[in-house]
Amino acid sequence: MTILVIAEHDGKVLAPATLNTVAAAAKIGGDIHVLVAGQGIGAIAEAAAKIAGVAKVLVADNAAYAHQLPENVAPLVAELGAGYSHILAAATSNGKNILPRVAAQLDVDQISEIVSVESADTFKRPIYAGNAIATVQSTAPIKVITVRATGFDPVAADGGSASVEAVGAVHDAGTSSFVGEELAKSDRPELTAAKIVVSGGRGMQNGDNFKHLYALADKLGAAVGASRAAVDAGFVPNDMQVGQTGKIVAPQLYIAVGISGAIQHLAGMKDSKVIVAINKDEEAPIFQVADYGLVADLFEAVPELEKLV
Amino acid sequence: MKVLVAVKRVVDYNVKVRVKADNSGVDLANVKMSMNPFCEIAVEEAVRLKEKGVATEIIVVSIGPTTAQEQLRTALALGADRAILVESAEDLTSLAVAKLLKAVMDKEQPQLVILGKQAIDSDNNQTGQMLAALTGYGQGTFASKVEVAGDKVAVTREVDGGAQTVSLSLPAIITTDLRLNEPRYASLPNIMKAKKKPLEVLTPEALGVSTASTNKTLKVEAPAARSAGIKVKSVAELVEKLKNEAKVI
């Protein structure tokens, strides 16, 4: 068995989710190869070669793969992947965008967002917003899988010494082009990788009040997230959304402030180790999953909490 | 321009689902079913394209049981012109659905296909991308903005770090994110009118599509329950517990 892992990157650095995906590959067992596709990605390939447990890094460096447009990258992965037993990618927006296109090209069903490896062909994944866990077996000759990063502890980012091999194949479908991007700027840790996450909901009342959460987060070295209600109300940008339709997090500590705890939100955070809820409504469903609940006005509790930690 | 919209009948998003005692699946008997929320957004976007004069005809298609006709009627009441049901009693995988949608596309030749980004039951997030692969068309997934200009469509996509805009040649496949629009409600007169709009029923056999799958669900379990927590009385007590009991700060 040889497993192909698609490296997750933004064109500049290798994303930590790659390490979790390699961890899932290691659980399956077999040689692990990593594909880095993009343009001007030498440094990313070097970083990939250092990942513990990786045997080979394939580098497809071409203008056609810049911004990882799926119309061009999927045919590359399908062509290379034909020789592998498994193709894995992180369940990030890139992985979700590209991998189903690969699966269809290979004419196999995909398994999305696995949280555990039972055997080389059997995996567990959440369905119905995490309200049920399905055990799925694949009989496909090539198993195409996206990995939920929070389901696997990352492997070490160094210690490996994989060989690096250039891939010459160029696929340019010519059906799509990159126009531009607008990335949210943040100095805080990345939401999906943070050890502590502080999230605000509709109870924050406006975007300005999120400053209380930022102050607390900075003191804790935490990332700041939000519920869909807070995003829809325009308090904060969409990439801060935690939930079924946003990001899935599983930090050591999740502090939910002014969040009622709808099932779509819980789907994104209920695997956190410790959950704290601060809400003035003691009937709020969030208290049913919280390890520590505090019924209080958040505008008093959050500044006090910031002082005490 | 002809627009094809795919909709799925799913358990209503407000329902707290229960796993069956024999672990064969989720209990859907006597549970409220609705149109998948992302599909509602797809229908709304198609209707807005028609209102702008970009789309000339909206065809809504669903693949599923006979009862999925209810969701097709809903889409017709929201502004779709006609509906197609590909009737199948089995639980189909995303790949099988994509193959059936491709067969419907071959018949109808739409310029734009809009789907939701994921169904809230299987949470797969695959069908749109697979349909794009099977047709060879460009894909604009997780769309938060769609602008058709000439033979191109500019799609702003929600990505992990923010937003990305791509330009796709038509025909193209788009999947909707929550931010794309706010779906309208169907008015009573429109619900009545929708009953008279055409609804064609097809089968996978008639379309010549095999729905065989390489995935098999062995069992479905309830997730591990979290043990009940405690309510603290003050912020000071909370900090003390986090430091000394949970040891997370």
Contact A104 B232 (CB under 8 A): no
Average pLDDT (B179-195) is 96
Question: Is A43's pLDDT higher than 90?
Answer: yes
Q: How many Cα atoms are found within 13 Å in the side-chain-facing hemisphere of A249? A: 35
Interface mutation vs chain A, best among B36, B123, B135, most A CBs within 10 Å = B123
Structure tokens at B116: 């939701």
Chain B residues 30-89 with CB within 8 Å of chain A: none
Residue B147: φ, ψ to 5°? -130, 115
Question: Is A185's pLDDT higher than 90?
Answer: no
Question: Is B228's pLDDT higher than 90?
Answer: no
Contact B123 A126 (CB under 8 A): yes
CA distance B180 to B54: 17
Average pLDDT (A160-174) is 95
Could you tell me the pLDDT band of residue A25, with boundaries at 50, 70 and 90? very high
Q: What is the mean pLDDT of chain B?
A: 96
Assess whether the previous peptide bond of A285 is cis (omega < 30° from 0). Answer: no
> A7 to each of A23, A54, A114, A149, B123, how far by Cα in Å?
13, 12, 17, 13, 23
Contact B249 A309 (CB under 8 A): yes
Average pLDDT (B56-72) is 98
CA distance A145 to A87: 6
pLDDT tens digits for B82-130? 999 999 988 899 999 999 999 999 999 999 999 999 999 999 999 999 9
Which residues of A define the annotated binding site for FAD? 202, 227-228, 241-245, 258-265, 279
Q: What is the DSSP string of B162-178?
A: EEEEEEEESSEEEEE-G
Nearest-neighbour CA in chain A from B196: distance (Å): 34
What is residue B61's three-state secondary structure?
strand
pLDDT (0 to 100) of residue B226? 85
| Whether A120 contacts A1, CB under 8 Å | yes
Intervals of CATH 3.40.50.620 along chain A? 2-166
Nearest to A289 by CA among A258, A254, A242: A254
Structure tokens at A209: 């009040």
What element of type H or E holds B33? strand B33-35
CA distance A283 to B155: 41
pLDDT (0 to 100) of residue A37? 98
| Whether A169 contacts A76, CB under 8 Å | yes
User: Nearest residue of B to residue A96 by CA position?
Assistant: B125
| Whether B119 contacts B93, CB under 8 Å | no
- Whether the CA torsion A164, A166, A172, A178 is positive or negative: it is positive
What element of type H or E holds B2? strand B2-7
Angle (CA) A94-B144-A108 rounded to 5° is 40
Nearest-neighbour CA in chain B from A219: distance (Å): 10
Intervals of CATH 3.40.50.1220 along chain A? 196-308
| CATH fourth-level superfamily of A196-308 | TPP-binding domain (3.40.50.1220)
Residue A306: φ, ψ to 5°? -60, -40
Phi/psi zone of residue A79: left (φ > 0), alpha (ψ -120 to 50 degrees), beta? Answer: alpha
Nearest to A36 by CA among A179, A164, A136: A164
pLDDT (0 to 100) of residue A145? 98
pLDDT tens digits for A212-270? 999 999 999 999 999 999 999 999 999 999 998 899 999 999 999 999 999 999 999 99
Question: Is A3's pLDDT higher than 90?
Answer: yes
- Whether the CA torsion A112, A114, A117, A122 is positive or negative: it is negative
Nearest-neighbour CA in chain A from B89: distance (Å): 19
Question: Is A63's pLDDT higher than 90?
Answer: yes
Nearest to A128 by CA among B40, B118, B204: B118
pLDDT (0 to 100) of residue A48? 98
CA distance B40 to B33: 14
pLDDT (0 to 100) of residue A193? 87
What is residue B116's three-state secondary structure?
strand
* DSSP summary character for residue B228: P
CB atoms within 10 A of CB A177: 16
Question: Is B227's pLDDT higher than 90?
Answer: no
B-chain residues within 8 Å CB-CB of A110? 94-95, 124, 126, 130
CA distance A88 to A300: 46
Nearest-neighbour CA in chain B from A209: distance (Å): 19
Length of chain A: 309
Q: What is the mean pLDDT of chain A?
A: 96
Residue B83: φ, ψ to 5°? -130, 150
B190 touches chain A (CB under 8 A): no
pLDDT (0 to 100) of residue A217? 97
Q: Which residues contact A180 (CB under 8 A, 6 or more apart)?
A: B164, B165
How do strand B215-221 and strand A132-138 relate by DSSP bridges?
A: antiparallel
Least confident of A23-37, A98-112, B220-234: B220-234
Q: How far apart are the first and last CA of chain A?
A: 49
Contact B124 A110 (CB under 8 A): yes
Q: What is the DSSP string of chain A?
A: -EEEEEPPB-SSSB-THHHHHHHHHHHH-SEEEEEEEESS-HHHHHHHHTSTT--EEEEEE-GGGGGG-HHHHHHHHHHHHTT-SEEEEESSHHHHHHHHHHHHHTT--EEEEE-EEEETTEEEEEETTTTEEEEEEE--SSEEEEE-GGGSPPPPSSS---EEEE--------SEEEEEEEEPP--SPPGGG-SEEEEE-GGG-SSTTHHHHHHHHHHHT-EEEE-HHHHHTTSS-GGGBBSTTSB----SEEEEES----HHHHTTTTT-SEEEEEES-TT-GGGGT-SEEEES-HHHHHHHHHHH-
Query: What CATH number belongs to A2-166?
Result: 3.40.50.620
- ipTM summary value: 0.95
% of chain A surpassing 90 pLDDT: 96
* DSSP summary character for residue B136: T
CA distance A134 to A125: 5
Of B169, B226, B230, the CB nearest to A292: B230
CB atoms within 10 A of CB A163: 11
CA distance A154 to B179: 32
pLDDT tens digits for A113-153? 999 999 999 999 999 999 999 999 999 999 999 999 999 99
CA distance B147 to B140: 11
Could you tell me the pLDDT band of residue B208, with boundaries at 50, 70 and 90? very high
Angle (CA) B213-B215-B221 rounded to 5° is 135
Contact B94 A109 (CB under 8 A): yes
B-chain residues within 8 Å CB-CB of A180? 164-165
| Whether A71 contacts A173, CB under 8 Å | yes
Question: Is A7's pLDDT higher than 90?
Answer: yes
pLDDT (0 to 100) of residue A186? 81
